[in-house]
């Protein structure tokens, strides 16, 4: 199976609710990143968490990283319709700058 | 003031043709990438160049040949196009010199359809 597996594959919530997406990976990493992709667009970087960090915040985003379980979660609080997009986790490992992407979570926020 | 730009945005062509996709970044980054996103949205790296030198070359058919004339450009040439090449191709860049790691900036994508 792939490095950076995500669940759920799809998530549908109401505006104002929180959305949580999870990502699991298999190897040792330098960092883990989350990206958003709106339909028909390129990926936009949201947040990066290094392997020695456990939690990071950016606005309404909260990311956690558990290297012992090789997992990460992305929490979006007080969701908005504009948050509707696909969300991908990506891990960077080794000495290069290669990113390995997960399969993504499609988030739909209903107004 | 576009950071990473790609041309064309859409490319429709016949099987067997040769085509190129161009990418330019104006961020001053030293590393550029090509990714392929399939119909299930799975994104996989194809190539990476650092300062015009190839540093990542995934298992990609040799019909795909990247070319980096300078640090700001990374073009992708595809020979003898096949139906399975239909996908969205994304260019990206990052500043990865001196062990610095960080976010990658993506272009808007080129949707390639092979008929």
Distance from CA of A45 to the nearest CA of B (A): 6
Contact list, B55 vs chain A (CB under 8 Å): 96
Which of A7, A27, A5 has its CA nearest to residue A92? Answer: A27
Query: Torsion-angle region of residue B84: left (phi > 0), alpha (psi -120 to 50) or beta?
Result: alpha
- Is residue A4 very low, low, confident or very high in pLDDT (cuts 50, 70, 90)? low
Distance CA A29, CA B67 (A): 29
Separation of alpha carbons B115 and B102, rounded Å: 38
d(C-alpha A36, C-alpha A107), whole Å: 10
Which structure tokens are listed for B22? 């161009």
Record: contact B108-A88, CB cut-off 8 A = no
Q: Kindly report, residue by residue over B7-23, the tens digit of the pLDDT.
A: 999 999 999 999 999 99
CB neighbour class for A16 (10 Å; exposed up to 12, middle 13-18, buried from 19): exposed
pLDDT mean across residues, chain A: 92
Mean pLDDT of B69-86: 95
What digits encode the pLDDT tens for the residues B90-111?
999 998 754 555 789 999 999 9
The C-alpha atoms of residue A4 and residue A20 are separated, in whole angstroms, by: 16
B103 neighbourhood in chain A, CB within 8 Å: 33, 45, 48
């Amino acid at each position: 199976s792939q490095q950076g597996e995500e669940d759920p594959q799809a998530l549908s919530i109401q505006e104002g609710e929180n959305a949580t997406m999870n990502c699991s990976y298999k190897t040792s990493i330098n960092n883990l990143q989350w990206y958003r992709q709106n339909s028909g667009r390129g990926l936009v970087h949201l947040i990066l968490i290094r392997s020695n960090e456990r939690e990071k915040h950016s606005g309404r985003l909260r990311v956690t990283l558990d290297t012992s379980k090789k997992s990460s979660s992305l929490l979006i609080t007080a969701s908005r319709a504009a948050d509707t997009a696909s969300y991908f986790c990506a891990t960077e490992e080794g000495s290069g700058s290669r990113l390995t992407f997960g399969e993504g979570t499609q988030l739909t926020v209903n107004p | 003031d576009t950071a990473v730009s790609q041309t064309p945005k859409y490319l429709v062509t016949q099987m067997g043709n040769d085509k190129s996709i161009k990418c330019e970044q104006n961020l001053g980054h030293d590393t550029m990438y090509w990714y392929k996103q399939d119909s299930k949205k799975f994104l996989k790296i194809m190539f990476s160049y650092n300062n015009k030198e190839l540093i990542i070359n995934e298992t990609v058919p040799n019909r795909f040949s990247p070319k980096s004339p300078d640090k700001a450009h990374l073009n992708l040439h595809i020979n003898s196009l096949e139906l399975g090449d239909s996908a969205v191709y994304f260019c990206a860049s990052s500043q990865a010199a001196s062990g610095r790691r960080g976010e990658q900036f993506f272009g808007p994508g080129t949707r390639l359809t092979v008929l």
